[in-house]
Each structure stands twice: as C-alpha cells, then as structure tokens.
C-alpha cells in the first residue's frame, strides 16, 4: 500500500511522487485547506492534544462545543452530538432506536459500520435487495407480524457504488406501517449532495427532517453523518432538536465513557464547517466537476449515473484488466483506486474515481484523456 506524504488534495504525494489524485473522500478539498490546518495547530498549543477525560468529566472544551454549534446550524437543527468516529454513529442510533422497532430491514450492500451498528440493537435483521424499494416492501410484508414496527437501515450514499438510496420510495413503504422508521449512514452524502449540502434527505427535499429526532409525516427519519469526508474534519455527527440530542447523549456511552475527538481534530472540524457554511459555491464547483467527469466518461461509452454524487464507479472487464488500467494511470501520474474488495462491490472489484471541488477542469480532462488511452 502506498504511503501518503502530503495532505490529500487534487495533487497528492504518494511514495515520493506527486500525483493527480482522484481517490478517497475529501470531496470539498478541505483536509489540506490552510485555514483548517492553522486552526488545528493553534488549538493544540492552546488546549493541548485532548482533555484526557470524557464529556461528563471535565472534558468539555471550546473546540468541541464549537463543532456542535456549527454542525447544528449547518444541518438546520438546534443541537448536535459530536463523537469520536462516524463509524460508530449507526451503533449510537441503533441503541437509541432499539425499543422503537421490532424488525430491521437492511440493504444487502450496506456498509460494515451499518451492519455492525445494527447488531447493537439485538433485533432480527432481514436484508433486502440493494436500493430496491419493491423488494423492501415484499420483505416487510413477508416478515413483519401484525403490530410490529419496521426499521430500514441503509447507507444514504454508497461509498464505492455511489448509489443514492431511494428514500422517497422507502418512505412510501414505511408509511404503511405505524411507527415505521428509516435510519441512514450518510457519511458520503453529508456535505456532498442536497441543495443545502445536508445530504441524502436534503437531496430528496425531505428538508423538514434533515436530522434525527424529527418526524416527517408518518415516517421517522434518522441519520448519522461524519465530518471526516466532504465536511473536511474528523468525527461523527448527529443533529436534531436540543431535547432529543440531550437524550441521545445521555443514552450513549460514547458521550460519558469514550474519548471525545482530540482538540486539533475538533478545531479543524469547526473551521471546516465554517468554510463550508460560508462558501456554498464549493458545492457548486463540486457538482460542476462531477458533471464534467460523468459527461466525459459517458462520451467514452462508459456507464455512469446522472447524480451529483462525487463517487464514480467503473466496471471495465475483468479484475485483472481494471488492475492494469489503474497501474497504467499511476505510471502516468494519476491516482485512482482499484477496489478489490469492499462493502457492496462484486468479486471482480471496481475502479473508483473520486471528484473534488478543488480539481480544475484541466485536471479532469487529463484524467479522461489518459483513461481513454488505457481502455
């Protein structure tokens, strides 16, 4: 595995060489933003590396509280819970929701963190076909007993396939069952899609319930997000009403029994949220770049979808062939990922291209050109 020797960005140093970089999850290009780095460095000198205690001890510090305030505002909610890693957000919500559902229905290609998080609820789990609301409806009809309440768990945006879960269709199914719930891991949606950049629910116009803890009509909508990807910092985030967030914090041992995100991480996350909030044009740049890349790939005869998701999966022949293409691009100084094995992908693997707001049109054209040479 190569060694990353710079911040990830449109140009990234891997094993001593500078590459045009189309990988990872830094979709808005903030992980190397000078203001983000300065915020991290300044805060560590002011507040130390960490509080070395939990939030219920003496561990509240200004950067942590600033993240929660800024994240709440970003997601259009009153309050937020900021915790060590987006990975555990599904466990936090599954534990919270545990007494509010009887059977979970899980997208068959859901991320590891969704599967593992759901296990914390200790309820029966039925999988349904990937992004297939008809199969969801059939599975719920077949497996839910009268009076039982269903929960749908899924990624909002799938990390390798780039698919967006068809939430309105899922919500129609859930609306048939009193107490039906939908809970998303929106790690790759938050910051990247939706008019306000709030992620998958926002993308589908479910803006009345962008966070957990509110209900849009008959269906309860919950999601956990991350600051580690488009939003340019690190750590998990759940937003909602102040009352609900207080309850959620009281219910989760990630609040009272785990380290909170370190000081430089929290300070960087707060600054990145400030930048994203003040510069909505970053999202437009991202979407313009995604459009340019997908249009170009389509003209080359490759199959791409038509969404603003900055993850572009390509399946081009065998695994060996994709491995050859990836290595050839690396020799040309362009880094994309050949993902051999990951949640949601088939046995041959796939090529994964990540688009950033900070890629220039010329960079994208160069990728398209070199890829065309290597098909």
Is 116 a binding residue for a copy of itself by CB under 8 A? The answer is yes
Is 319 a binding residue for a copy of itself by CB under 8 A? The answer is no
Two tokens, residue 42 = 């300044």
Site for a copy of itself in 16-75 (CB under 8 A): 21, 23-26, 30-32, 36-37, 40-41, 44-53, 55-62, 65
Sequential DSSP letters for 170-203: HHHHHTTSTT-EEEEE-TTTTTTSSTTS--HHHH
Closest Cα to residue 114, out of 72, 81, 158, 79? 158
Site for a copy of itself in 213-242 (CB under 8 A): 226, 228-229, 232-234
Window of 71-79, 111-119, 138-146, 196-204 that interacts with a copy of itself by CB under 8 A: 111-119
Residue number, 45 or 362, with CB nearest to a copy of itself: 45
Q: Is the CB of residue 184 less than 8 Å from the CB of residue 222?
A: yes
Residue number, 126 or 216, with CB nearest to a copy of itself: 126
Window of 8-16, 72-80, 125-133, 320-328 that interacts with a copy of itself by CB under 8 A: 8-16
Torsion angle of C-alpha atoms 166, 167, 169, 170, degrees rounded to 10: 110
Minimum CB separation of residue 187 from a copy of itself in Å reads 9
Minimum CB separation of residue 299 from a copy of itself in Å reads 28
Residue number, 181 or 272, with CB nearest to a copy of itself: 272
Measured CA to CA in angstroms, residue 332 lies from 164, 287, 322 at distances of 32, 26, 15
Minimum CB separation of residue 22 from a copy of itself in Å reads 11
Measured CA to CA in angstroms, residue 82 lies from 46, 204, 249 at distances of 20, 25, 9
Q: Is the CB of residue 109 less than 8 Å from the CB of residue 344?
A: yes
Cα(254)–Cα(82) distance, rounded to whole angstroms?
9
The one among 87, 170, 177, 204 contacting a copy of itself by CB under 8 A: 87
Residue number, 96 or 204, with CB nearest to a copy of itself: 96
Cα(142)–Cα(139) distance, rounded to whole angstroms?
5
Window of 161-169, 292-300, 309-317, 335-343 that interacts with a copy of itself by CB under 8 A: 335-343
Is 169 a binding residue for a copy of itself by CB under 8 A? The answer is no
Half-sphere exposure of 179 (CA within 13 A, CB side): 14
Q: Which residues pair with 110 in a beta bridge?
A: none
Q: At 41, give phi and psi (nearest 5°).
A: -65, -45
Question: How buried is 52 (Cβ within 10 angstroms: 0-12 exposed, 13-18 middle, 19+ buried)?
Answer: exposed
Site for a copy of itself in 253-282 (CB under 8 A): 253-254, 256-259, 262, 264-265, 268
Site for a copy of itself in 90-109 (CB under 8 A): 91
Residues 337-366, mask of contacts with a copy of itself (x by CB under 8 A)? x----xx-----------------------
The one among 72, 88, 273, 293 contacting a copy of itself by CB under 8 A: 88
Minimum CB separation of residue 345 from a copy of itself in Å reads 12
């Amino acid at each position: 595995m190569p060694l990353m020797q710079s911040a990830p960005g449109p140009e990234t140093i891997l094993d001593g060489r500078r590459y045009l970089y189309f990988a990872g999850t830094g979709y808005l290009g903030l992980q190397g933003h000078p203001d983000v780095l300065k915020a991290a460095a300044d805060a560590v000198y002011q507040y130390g590396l960490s509080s070395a205690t939990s939030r219920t001890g003496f561990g509240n510090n200004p950067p942590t509280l600033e993240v929660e305030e800024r994240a709440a505002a970003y997601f259009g909610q009153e309050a937020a819970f900021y915790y060590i890693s987006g990975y555990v957000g599904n466990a936090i919500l599954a534990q919270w929701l545990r007494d509010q559902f009887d059977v979970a229905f899980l997208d068959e290609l859901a991320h590891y963190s969704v599967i593992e998080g759901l296990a914390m609820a200790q309820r029966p789990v039925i999988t349904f076909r990937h992004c297939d609301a008809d199969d969801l409806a059939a599975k719920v009809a077949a497996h839910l007993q009268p009076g039982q309440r269903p929960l749908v768990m899924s990624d909002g945006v799938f990390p390798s396939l780039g698919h967006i879960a068809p939430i309105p269709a899922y919500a129609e199914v859930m609306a048939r069952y009193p107490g039906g719930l939908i809970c998303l891991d929106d790690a790759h949606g938050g910051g990247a899609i939706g008019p306000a950049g709030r992620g998958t629910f926002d993308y589908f116009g479910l803006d009345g319930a962008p966070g957990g803890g509110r209900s849009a009509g008959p269906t309860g909508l919950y999601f956990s997000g991350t600051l580690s990807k488009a939003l340019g910092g690190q750590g998990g985030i759940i937003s909602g009403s102040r009352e609900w967030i207080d309850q959620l914090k009281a219910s989760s041992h990630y609040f009272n029994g785990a380290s909170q995100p370190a000081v430089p991480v929290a300070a960087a996350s707060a600054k990145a949220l400030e930048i994203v909030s003040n510069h909505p044009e970053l999202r437009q740049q991202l979407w313009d770049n995604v459009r340019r890349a997908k249009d170009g790939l389509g003209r080359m005869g490759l199959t791409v979808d038509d969404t603003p998701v900055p993850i572009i999966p390509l399946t081009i022949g065998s695994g060996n062939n994709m491995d050859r293409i990836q290595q050839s691009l690396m020799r040309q100084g362009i880094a994309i990922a050949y993902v051999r094995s990951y949640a949601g992908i088939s046995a041959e693997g796939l090529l994964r291209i990540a688009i950033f707001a900070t890629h220039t049109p010329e960079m994208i054209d160069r990728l398209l050109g070199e890829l065309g040479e290597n098909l």
